[in-house]
Structure formats: C-alpha cells, structure tokens
Copies of this chain bind each other. A is one copy, B any other.
C-alpha cells in the first residue's frame, strides 16, 4: 500500500461520520448494509451519507455491492489490515519493543 493511499485511508477515517460508518460496516461483516440503512443508522441525510460513502470507497475502505436498486456497502478488510500493519511495522528498530510496544508485539506474534 502506497503512502498516497494510506493517507487517503487515514484522511477518510478522520471524520466523525465516516469513522462511524466504517466501524458500523466492520462490525456488520462482509454482507454489508444498503446505503439507506447506513444513513438511517448513522442519522445522516442520504446525500450526505452518499458523499461520505464515496470518500470511503475511493479510499478503498469500503466497497459498493449493487443489488437491484439497493447498493450495499461492505468494509474492505484488506485495506484495514494494510493500514494497521503500516502504522505498527518496524517499531523500535526491533530493540526495546518488549517494553514500549508490548501490545503490538502481542498482536504480531501470530
């Protein structure tokens, strides 16, 4: 994942509405939810939710799944994982990690 894409993803998540939508979809699972349902659950105007979903989609964090006149949106777990990996990789030059980045280590050790 390139820097540009990473910044796009972080930027997309750095907003109350979009972070809320993303978390909703992460918890929801791969089936996703239709745009209208997302807007309703997050209490957003449809146009506004659509705008934010587009941003998330462009950042690769969610993907649209058309189904008749509904458009389902689902979290893109690969992007999420790439992002998390990028943020935490190579920490502490491999040295003092056991102290400083203990939780990271715990995650990384399988």
Contacts and interface: CB of A to CB of B under 8 A. Distances in A.
Interface of A: 3, 6-7, 10-11, 13-16, 19, 23, 26-30, 75, 77, 80-81, 83-88, 90-93, 95-96, 99-101, 103-104, 106-110
A92 B27 contact: yes
B96 A88 contact: no
A91 B27 CA distance: 4
B19 A6 contact: yes
Contacts of A6: 19
A31 B107 CA distance: 23
B110 A30 contact: no
A23 B88 CA distance: 8
